[in-house]
Every structure is written in structure tokens, then in C-alpha cells.
Amino acid sequence: MRVVLSGGGTGGHIYPALAVASRCAEEIPGSEFLYIGGERGLESSLVPKTEIPFKAIDITGFRRKLSFENMKTVMRFLKGVRKSKQMLREFKPDVVIGTGGYVCGPVVYAAAKLGIPSIIHEQNAVPGLTNRFLSKYVSTVAVSFEGSETAFPGARNIIYTGNPRATTVFEADKNKGFESLGLPASSSIVLVVGGSRGAKAINDAMVDMAPYLKELDHLSFVYVTGDNYYAPTMEAIQAKTGALPRNLQVLPYVHNMPEVLASTSLIVNRAGASFLAEMTALGIPSILIPSPNVTNNHQEKNARTLEQAGAARVILEPELSGKALFTAVQEIMSNKVRHESMSKSSRKLGKPDSAHLIVEEIRRLTGSGRS
């Protein structure tokens, strides 16, 4: 099986593609991969660290307002299509898979025009511009949220798979998570994450909440700041409390996030689709603080899906403060019945076999049969 993967800009687009590759390699031995990403996207640094060959095209996204820059984007798109066709003819893939981000546009469109079976995966409850465009050309659209199929009225075939990243996390070893944090396996961990680059609103709330943490000394708080916020966060907390609270760890980044998630009892986070898939695969209750700075406010829609199912508590940024966050954590972690109920609701939304479902669709499209 020869597979081309494309997805970029953020980890939310890249990690699902890598999860599909991992499962495909496991289920279809001998599979070969090529990742086509953007020259400037995060994928250009992440993918080369794996064993998957990486090639790049020059592409940018459309501006929301009319501008001359959009004309340049159109030209880059057309040039990207030509270059993608050349790469595809050389690699001769059996299938092309796009997991979002504007780099998928020329790559998957080129595959469709060459008659190569293609799949796009939409992580969010509200699809992005690129996937809405591609849905009319691809063989299959895979969605993460049940019910979001209606967002693709022109698609030929739509399947509900969940997010492939869930499979990676579901198989993680929680004992390694406890060990990496230096905590006993009996610990109740509250993990606070602002995203790979951090989030100022969550950072400010954690600084304000730090003096209250001694009231929850039976909990272990782990705050992942993002590299840029690490030093100022440590300084601000120490200035506010005199010393770092004994039950708080502040980390710039976590390299083994699947294992740490597997050991977590409650997570405080943005509402990016990949993180929600990871949380629900493990049945982790959550406090979600959706970013207001995303297209179509899709993070709040993602978060409300979990809230309506009873799996999460949503706090919008205007409502966020140290006291509000502390109260929300206390209400969930001090009530075993509520915590268990949220955990069950979260697990019901999880699709730990997501990557497998996409591999099954690859088999169907390519006629490779089943294992």
C-alpha cells in the first residue's frame, strides 16, 4: 500500500495524519508513505523527525478580506497543484489522505484530478474552508463529530470515524505518565494545557489560581505553559505565592502527552478537536476554555458538543478568572458521583478505533481486502 498524507499548520492537523500512518503500517505490512506539507508549517519540522519521507510545497491560506495577497494565494495554489501532480506521478500512491490545513488543498485536489482515491478528515464540528472545497472532489469525507455530516452537502460518501489521534492516546501506558511526572500511581492529576504554544488567558487564570491550590492539596496540578509562557509564569506564580505550591508542577512542554493524558483525572484545556478526541478516548472529564480567535468560532462549537453530552464544563474567556477556574475544578473533583458521570459521558463520545476505521476505508477504496 502506497499512501500520501497531507495536513499542516498545527498539530491538530498533523498528528491525526501520523496516527493513520501508524495504524496503516500496523494493519497493512509493507505500506509506504510520503507526507506532502507546507514549507512554513509546523509539519516541516515535526514530520522529518519521524521515518516518513517529507516533501514541501509553497502555499498560504486565503485572507478573510479582499486583498491583493489573495491573488498571490490563488497563484500559489495553482503552482502547488502542478507540483503536487508531479510528486504524485512519481510516488504512484494507491490513496491520498488529507487531514486539514490549507496545504491539503492543492495536494488532495491534484489527487482527485489524477483519479487517485482520496480521503479528507475533518477534525472540527464546523469544517474549515479547505475541506469544504475538497469535499466535492474526494472519494470519502471522514468526520470526527457525529451529526456534522450535514456540513458537506456535495460529498459523495461521508463516514463518521472520530479522530485518529484517539487511537494513539487510547493505547498509551498511564504508568509511564505517572513516572515521567514523578508522581505515584494513586495520584489524582489535574492537567492544565494552553495548547502547544500556550494561551495567555489560561496562563493568567493559573497565576491567579495558584494561591488557592493549597485548599486542594489532595490533587496534583500539572500546568503545561508552552515554551513562551514558561519563564514569566514561574516568576508570576512565585511573586504571588512566595514559592511554587507543593502540589503544582509547571512545565514548558510535555513530549509524552499520550502517556500523561492516560494518567490524568481532569483536564483543563482549549477545545481543539484533536485534544477532545484524546480526552474522550480515555473518558477524561474536562473544563474547556475555547479559543475565541479561531475561524467560525469552531472551538466553542466543539466544546458545547461535549458539554451537552455531560462530559465537560465550558468557561468562556470573558468568564475566566483564577477563582472561577478553582471553583470549577473543586466542584468536579470533590464530587465523586459527578466526576464518574462526566467520565462515562466522555467515554461514550470516544472513538478509540478511529484510525482503524480510516484504514478500513482505505482498504475499501483501493480494493485491498481486509486482514
Report the binding-site residues for UDP-N-acetyl-alpha-D-glucosamine: 10-12, 124, 196, 299
Q: Are 88 and 4 in contact (CB under 8 A)?
A: yes
Go through 188-211 and write b for each residue having 16 or more CB atoms within 10 A of its CB, e for each that does not: ebbbbbbbbebbebbbbbbbbbbe
**DSSP state, residue 105:** H
Q: Are 138 and 152 in contact (CB under 8 A)?
A: no
Q: Are 296 and 64 in contact (CB under 8 A)?
A: no
DSSP state letters, 34-78: EEEEESSSTHHHHGGGSSS-EEEE---PPPSS--HHHHHHHHHHH
Cite the beta strand spans of the chain per DSSP E: 2-6, 32-38, 54-57, 95-98, 118-122, 140-143, 158-160, 189-193, 220-224, 248-251, 264-269, 286-288, 312-314
Annotated binding residues = 10-12, 124, 196, 299
